[in-house]
Copies of this chain bind each other. A is one copy, B any other.
Amino acid sequence: MLKLFFGPGSCALASHLALEEAGAAYEAVRLSLRDGEQRKPEYLAINPKGRVPALVTDRGVLTENPAILLYIAQTHPQADLAPLDDPSALARMQAFNSYLCATVHVAHAHGARWADEASSIADMKRKVPETMAACFDLIEREMLAGPWVMGQRFSTADPYLYTLSRWLKGDGVEVARFPKVAEHMRLMEARPATAKVLPLHQ
Interface residues of A (CB under 8 A from B): 48-49, 57, 59-60, 62-68, 70-71, 74-75, 87-88, 90-95, 97-99, 101-102, 105-107, 110, 113-117, 119-120, 123-124, 126-127, 131, 138, 141-142
In the assembled complex, 30 residue pairs joining A and B whose CB atoms fall closer than 8 Å, in A order, are: A48-B138, A48-B141, A59-B88, A62-B91, A63-B95, A64-B99, A66-B94, A67-B91, A67-B92, A67-B95, A67-B97, A67-B98, A71-B90, A71-B91, A74-B87, A74-B90, A98-B98, A98-B102, A102-B106, A106-B106, A106-B114, A110-B114, A113-B131, A114-B124, A114-B131, A115-B120, A117-B119, A117-B120, A119-B120, A120-B120
